[in-house]
Amino acid sequence: MSTKEDRERIELLQGTLDLLILRTLLLGPAHGHAIAKAIEFNSEDVLQVEQGSLYPALHRLIKRRWISVEEGTSENNRRAKFYRLTPKGRRQLAVETRKWGKLAGAIARILRPTEQESES
Amino acid sequence: MRRRKHMLEELDQDIRDHIERESQDNIERGMSPEEARYAAMRKFGNVTRVKEETREVWSLIWLEQLLEDISFGLRILHKNFGFTAVAVLTLALGIGANTAIFNVVHATLLQPLPTRQANRLVVIWVNNLVQSWSRIGPTGQDYLDWKEQSKSFDDLFLFEHGTGTVTGLGEPEQVAGLRVTTNFGEFFGIKPVLGRTFRLDEAGSRHNFAILGYGYWHRRFASDPSVAGRGMTLNGEEYTIIGVLPADFAALFPADVVVPFDTDWVKRVGTDLGVFGRLKPGVTLRQASGEMNVIAGRIATARPSRKGFGAVLVPLEAVRVEYLRPALLVLLVAVGFVLLISCANVANLMLARSVVRQREMAIRMALGAGRLRLIRQFLAEGTMLALLGGTAGALLAVWSTDLLNIFVPSRIPVPNAADAVTLPGIHMSGTAVAFTIVISLLTGIVFGVIPALQSLRCNVNESLKEGGRGFSIGPSGHRTRSTLVIVESALAFVLVIGAGLMIKSFWHLLEANPGFHPDHLLTLRIKLPTDAKSSEYREPRQQAATFQRFLASVEAVPGIQSAAFAEIVPLSQDDMDMGYFVVQEDPALPPGEHLAADYRDITPNYFATMGIPLIAGRSFSEQDNLDRPRVVVIDEMLARRFFPKQDPIGKHLQIPDATRPSREIVGVVGGVRDTGFDQQPRPTIYFPSLQSPDQTMSLVLRTTLPPSAVLPAIKNAIWSVDKNQPVFAVRSMDEIISGIVSAQRLAFLLLGVFAFLALALAAIGIYGVTSYLVSERTHEIGVRIALGAQRSDVSHLVLGHGARLAGIGVIGGVVAAFALTRLLSSLLFGVSATDPLTFVVVAILLTLIALAACYIPARRAMRVDPVVALRCE
């Protein structure tokens, strides 16, 4: 079933989807499908989002009041729901980004020696 | 809330839009519409799960799922009616038994005393280790000395149980009386329902004031609210009623009438008083005990007659439950076991069923149900079963509580103290209902989790791949079920051992010879009123003569074979009378050393009426009166201990501290177990009551007629001598005996019932596991038979499996029983807690029952037709 391309994709870590949604919305309001596309496109198709899982995440963010939702019309003039970053969400994004940076840096530091060993 | 609903409603639309957009994109990339839509859906994932997870974000989802689980569970339970009925019944037995025993525990151990600061109240007795008197009442002077010298107590309270004769209110009545120091009301924090209690300063002089008990006020005065200030005649004297006690106070003192001591009276009264102390805050029982024994030493120096006496302090709350506590603890453990066994059985049933449902679970999991969700489904089903079982169990408990009221005595003895406390009736309380609910929920969780965990171990792919063929539970499932059965057998073994020991012990108890013939004996008490100055009974000679007249009158009643008076009836716990003596012919004892014995005043016909054998010499006769030489009869215990290798007849006994003449021993009788079947007879001296009159005596009658048939005639015979003389404490010897073995009987009967339940449940468990094994191995058995195995080999295989489970259970049970039967030891009489015979018999019994339970499945295995079994493939 899975193609070779599929196998090179990486499944999202638990909780990182929220961060990616917030980051995507920083550029402006978007509807659900567009958010999924943006994440895939911006990660150069490395990050695989099971698109369905976007919706529980969106609702979670709404509940925490990090994003808001409004009716609107999409580019091809169809009715759609647009999600928009709230000021609270913007602050949260900053916090989460910093955290992520720390985490990624730490993991990278731990992994680097192995990399060098395997290269040598 | 509305916002949430709105969002969820729109979710469907959002998902449709999303998939449509994705399909559109795919079409633009060159896919066919059908292909595009399929790819979009695949990319989106499991729609149902997405919806569910989204709804879960909006928290109330948990409750919704629970309701779904419950309705689904109810449907499942309804569909499997047979399974449900068996499980509910099993649980009802376990939960019902627990609730019933909880009711008893609640009514006895957990009921708060109707007094303030009950946890700081202690009962103070004196003891005398030299004479092996462990708990006897102090004297009035002891109380005054304690009160003056001790610093451990806020206050000390003195009381004396007694009876009073009430006349002028219809039939003369002997009422339960209580004489108390005037700090009565303050000491217990009593709030009278009417009038007042005594005032402290009323101890200064004699006041004929009476406070009525609530029950007596209700019974005799029809709860008359104007009773305070009225008069009543008590022991021939006029008293003024000043108040009525609250209803619940009867749990502490079931007195009809309470009257006050004055200080002079306290100084005069001898032994057999009761003293309570209220410990000061922060003072421990040990500290108070230490102080009281120091004081006892001081008292002994000041009053040499009190030499050798110490003080015994026991918390009041402990005294009340002392007698029943061991029995109740045993029963609590026993019902706990029964519940565990029911749980194990229901878990086993559910496990068996979970095999059938494995496919259902696999499908649900494949469709995206989370594992937690499935566990919750099992728990919901288990809890519902348990609640159904709990409801049925509560009904069972209500019914059996009525039954328990018969077996739990309302008057329970205080060990070693010739006293008794009153228990309130047992009833189903709100606390018990709460207890049932809690225990049902716990039960549901226990037997719900086991099959849940078990079935979740299954592999979705394997289960689905296996197709239509029977699912097997797998080795770990077998292990779980076998373990449950082993645990069940072990628990059942312990219970049956307990019941076996109690049966043996109870049999010993009933076979024990009390030293007299207890059947066909009726007893009642008579107390001559002597308080009033005008009373004709103040003169001892008059007392003796009056009892003579009563006896003559009673002996004339038809149907009475024999009658006598005695100061105290054996086993009755009515009273105690004991004292020192000196053997005149022996060298004088060192100062401070005493010989002691129980004293009993009796009329001549007593030994014959009771069936106490005369061993040597003669009994008393009508001629042994105050005008003749003083004589005594001793029992064989006293003869053996104090006249070893001598003939006691013709020797003389003297009572110290008395100017009375010495008394010649004229006879020796058999020993009597006076305080209980499990106690040795104590050295006893019998005095002829004509030479040693008493105010209160018990009439013992030997008659083959039922008590109710002769009682009216006996009362009339007594009233023909004195129309104002009440009789009280009418009891047959059978009643007295059933009272003193009540704790043992309770433990014996209930342990028997529980052990039977446990055996039946364990047998069902073994049967279930074995028949499951047979049905699962039908194919294998067919192959074996086809290859030439004998049918007997097959049945051995099955029986062997059952026997192995039971065997391991028995071994575990023996270990557990060795540890646990110690709990029983205080209830056992004439049998050790590790009685080898009982252990062996019960082990054999349990193994036989296990084999019997395996017999049906074994027969089924033998009848397996290899052709049919193999065709199943």
At residue B594, does pLDDT exceed 60? yes
Distance CA B783, CA B779 (A): 6
The rounded percent of chain B whose pLDDT value lies above 90 is 26
| pLDDT, averaged across chain B | 84
The pLDDT assigned to B862 comes to 82
pLDDT at B710 over 60: yes
Which residues in chain B are closer than 8 Å to A65, comparing Cβ atoms? none
What is the phi/psi pair of residue B822, to 5°?
-60, -35
- Reported as a single tens digit per residue, the pLDDT across B390-403 is 999 999 988 888 88
CB of A9 within 8 Å of any CB in chain B? no
Nearest-angstrom CA–CA distance, B741 and B321: 15
**Angle formed at CA B280 by CA B274 and CA B285, multiple of 5 degrees:** 65
Q: Is B11 on the interface with A (CB under 8 A)?
A: yes
Residue pLDDT, tens place only, B798-812: 888 888 888 899 999
Residue B81 placed within a domain: no
* Range scoring the smallest mean pLDDT among B140-149, B272-281, B466-475, B544-553: B466-475
Tokens standing for B448? 């719900």
**Helix, strand or coil for residue B550?**
helix
pLDDT of amino acid A119 = 45
Same domain, B622 and B694: yes
Nearest to B319 by CA among B257, B256, B274: B274
pLDDT tens digit sequence for B497-520 = 999 998 888 888 878 888 999 889
Q: Using CA atoms, how far apart are residues B175 and B783, in angstroms rounded to an integer? A: 83
Task: Determine the residue type at A62.
Answer: I
Query: Predicted ipTM?
Result: 0.79
- Quick one: pLDDT at residue B462? 59
Same domain, B484 and B425: yes
pTM for the whole thing?
Answer: 0.69
- Find the mean pLDDT for residues B439-456: 77
More confident residue, B866 or B297: B297
Q: Is residue B25 part of a domain?
A: yes
When comparing pLDDT for B254 and B257, which is higher?
B257
Q: Is B22 on the interface with A (CB under 8 A)?
A: yes
Q: What is the pLDDT of residue B48?
A: 83
**Cβ–Cβ under 8 Å, residues B587 and B571:** no
Residues 6+ apart with CB under 8 A from B581: B595, B596, B597, B653, B654, B655, B656, B685
Structure tokens at B177: 């009386």
* B796 vs B532: CA distance, rounded Å: 86
Is B463 in the same domain as B333? yes
* B15 burial via Cβ count (<10 Å: 0-12, 13-18, 19+): buried
* Among B4, B21, B25, B46, the residue to mutate for chain A (most A Cβ within 10 A): B21
Domain spans of chain A? 4-119
Mean pLDDT of A20-38: 88
Question: What pLDDT is attached to residue B435?
Answer: 86
Q: Nearest chain B Cα to A56, which residue? A: B54
Percent of chain B clearing pLDDT 70 (strictly above): 91
**pLDDT at residue B370 tops 90:** no
Residue B218 has pLDDT above 80, yes or no: yes
For Cα atoms B315, B320, B321, give the angle at the middle one, nearest 5 degrees: 105
A7 close to B (CB below 8 A): no
Q: What is the DSSP letter of A30?
A: B
pLDDT range class, residue B4, cuts 50, 70, 90: low
Residue B521 included in any domain: no
Q: Give the residue from B23, B40, B58 where a domain finishes.
A: B58
| CB pair distance less than 8 Å for A52 and B22 | no
Burial of B679-709, coded b for 16+ CB within 10 Å and e otherwise, reads eebbbbbbbbbbbbbbebbbbbbbbebebee
Task: Specify if B424 maps to a domain.
Answer: yes
Cα separation, B314 vs B275, whole angstroms: 11
Return the higher-pLDDT residue of A37 and B600. Answer: B600
User: Which of B274, B297, B321 lies at the terminal end of a domain, its last residue?
Assistant: B321
- Residue B846 host element (H or E): helix B836-862
Asked if B57 lies within 8 A of A56 by C-beta distance, the reply is yes
- How many domains are contained in chain B? 4
Q: What are the phi and psi torsion angles at B233 (to 5°)?
A: -100, 120
Both structure tokens of A71:
């009716």
Query: Does B417 score more than 80 pLDDT?
Result: no
Q: Tell me whether residue B104 is in a domain.
A: no
Check residue B638 and give its pLDDT.
93
Cβ–Cβ contact B592 with A under 8 A: no
For chain A, give the percent of residues with pLDDT over 70: 77
Least confident of A83-92, B58-67, B492-501, B696-705: B58-67
Of residues B177 and B465, more confidently modeled: B177
Q: Assess whether pLDDT exceeds 70 at residue B35.
A: yes
- B44 to chain A, minimum CA–CA distance in Å? 4
Say if B235 falls within a structural domain. yes
Under the banding of pLDDT at 50, 70 and 90, the label for residue A3 is: very low
More reliable by pLDDT, B462 or A107: A107
Amino acid at site B424: P
pLDDT tens column, B76-129: 777 777 778 888 888 898 889 899 888 888 887 777 888 888 889 999 998 888
Angstrom distance (rounded) from CA B66 to CA B661: 89
Whether the predicted pLDDT of B872 surpasses 60: no
Q: For residue B283, is pLDDT > 60?
A: yes
CB pairs under 8 A between A and B: 53
Instruction: Verify that B244 and B392 share a domain, yes or no.
Output: no
pLDDT for B647 = 92
pLDDT higher than threshold 70 for residue B65: no
Q: Do B536 and B681 have their domain in common?
A: yes
| Residue B66 maps to a domain | no
Show the DSSP H helices in B303-357 as ranges.
316-321, 325-356
Residue B63 has pLDDT above 70, yes or no: no
Tell whether the model's pLDDT for residue B465 goes beyond 60: no
d(CA B793, CA B789): 6
pLDDT higher than 90, residue B773: no
Least confident of B239-248, B595-604, B611-620, B736-745: B736-745
**Domain annotation covers residue B98:** no
Could you tell me if B498 and B604 lie in one domain? no
Co-location of B607 and B681 in the same domain? yes
Q: Are residues B138 and B268 in the same domain?
A: yes
- Contact flag B11-A55 (C-beta cutoff 8 Å): yes
> What is residue B20's predicted lDDT score, i.e. its pLDDT?
87
B58 touches chain A (CB under 8 A): yes
Judge if B349 and B374 occupy the same domain. yes
For A4-119, the fitting CATH number among 3.40.50.880, 3.40.980.10, 3.50.50.60, 1.10.10.10 is 1.10.10.10
Of B212 and B455, the structure prediction assigns the larger pLDDT to: B212
- Put simply, the answer to whether A63 touches B58 (Cβ < 8 Å) is yes
Q: How confident is the model at residue B31 (pLDDT cuts 50, 70, 90)?
A: confident
Whether A120 shows a pLDDT value over 50: the answer reads: no
Q: What is the mean pLDDT of residues B585-607?
A: 86
Asked if pLDDT for residue A108 goes beyond 50, the answer is yes
User: Which of the four pLDDT bands, split at 50, 70 and 90, describes residue B240?
Assistant: very high
Q: Which residue of A has its CA nearest to B48?
A: A52
Residues sharing a CB contact under 8 Å with residue B829, sequence separation 6 or more, in sequence order = B505, B506, B508, B509, B512, B677, B678, B744
Q: What integer is the mean pLDDT of B58-76?
A: 71
pLDDT at B605: 93
> Of B273, B303, B321, which one is at a domain's C-terminal end?
B321
B316 and B340 together in one domain:
no
Q: Are residues B593 and B697 in the same domain?
A: yes
A55: nearest CB among B22, B43, B50: B50
Name the residue with higher pLDDT: B213 or B768.
Answer: B213
Q: Which helix (H) or strand (E) covers residue B620, if one does?
A: none
Do B747 and B683 belong to one domain? no
Is the pLDDT at B732 greater than 50? The verdict is yes
The mean pLDDT value for B685-714 works out to 90
Residue range A20-43: mean pLDDT, rounded: 86
User: At residue A76, does pLDDT exceed 70?
Assistant: no
Residue B243 DSSP one-character state:
E
Residue B549: band (very low, low, confident or very high) from pLDDT cuts 50, 70, 90: very high
Contact B54 A55 (CB under 8 A): yes
Helix (H, G, I), strand (E, B) or coil at B575: coil
Most confident range (mean pLDDT) of A29-33, B266-270, B531-535 is A29-33
| Host domain of residue B144 | 118-321
